[in-house]
Amino acid sequence: MRYFLMINALSAIFALLPFIMSEMLVNVYRINRITGVEIAVIDRVNTVIGLLCFSFSIITFVFMIKKRFLPSKKTNLFSSITWVPYYWLYISIFASQFPITNPADKANPASGVIIIAGLLLYPIILAGMNAIALLLKSHNSLS
């Protein structure tokens, strides 16, 4: 039961990065309308925030994976897939709490393609982080 809860907690944390990135990408027009900041500035800020979040999350995820005590490598890789239900849960909760009431706030179709591409690459990134963490963990156990 303990491992089940650990995998689910880690998967819920893994789902936060694509959720934040996709919501920042989709809500550019809403941020523009509410704050009055130009879209070009919002895009630059989103890029900087995205890069900072991504680099911080890689370091944090590798540390979290390295320090947790899961019984096998299969459970480590299983957490690379189980983030998907949490991502959809976050999206549905956000969409129900903050519905688009102004038709001008709808995102352009290209942002959907970018989100889909990012979501398809994200499990590969998580599997790579799992591999790095397992290498570091085995390296530390040898020394």
Q: Model's pTM, two decimal places?
A: 0.81
**Cα distance from N-terminal residue to C-terminal residue, the chain:** 31
Q: What is the pLDDT of residues 108-142, one digit of tens each?
A: 888 889 899 989 998 888 888 777 777 777 766 65
Nearest to 136 by CA among 81, 59, 82: 59
Segments of the chain scoring below 50 in pLDDT:
none
